[in-house]
Amino acid sequence: MTLVYSFLFCGTICLIGQIILDNTKLTPGHVTTIFVVLGAFLGIFNIYDKIVSIVGAGANIPIVSFGNLLLNGTYTGYLENGTLGLFTGMLAAVSAGVVSAVVFAFVASIFTKPKD
């Protein structure tokens, strides 16, 4: 059942994003920013953690989870290292995802040709 919940959650996030793109003049960058801020907002009140417990790993796929990850990393860093931990905790939390995106983009660029 977790697979169904994951599919429905991710699909709902994509549906909401597509509806926003189709019916407003917002760009994909605006929609992405809205979703990241929404994820951070849900993380403040521990709502996103409850969603993850119900949906499973499927809640960690959409961009909404990035905002939650930023918030949790910042909070954990602050608890461990004080004010400096606000920055180092955030960077430590998202470093694996950012490095993976860069590496996979590089590998994909090796096997594809750019269009003019």
Enclosing domain of residue 31: 2-111
- Asked, for residue 100, whether it belongs to a domain, the answer is yes
- Asked, for residue 116, whether it belongs to a domain, the answer is no
Q: Calculate the alpha carbon distances from 107 to 80, 95, 97, 112, 113 in Å.
A: 36, 18, 15, 9, 12
pTM for the structure as a whole: 0.83
pLDDT in tens, 54-97: 999 889 888 999 999 999 999 999 999 999 999 999 999 999 98
Q: How confident is the model at residue 114 (pLDDT cuts 50, 70, 90)?
A: confident
30: number of Cβ within 10 Å:
13
End-to-end CA distance of the chain: 45
Stronger pLDDT, 61 or 23, i.e. the higher one: 23
Looking at residue 57, what is its pLDDT?
86
pLDDT in tens, 29-40: 999 999 999 999
- Asked, for residue 7, whether it belongs to a domain, the answer is yes
- Asked, for residue 48, whether it belongs to a domain, the answer is yes
What is the sign, positive or negative, of the torsion defined by CA atoms of 14, 116, 102, 87?
A: negative
Contact 67, 38 (CB under 8 A): yes
Domain count, the chain: 1
> Residue 116 pLDDT > 80, yes or no?
no
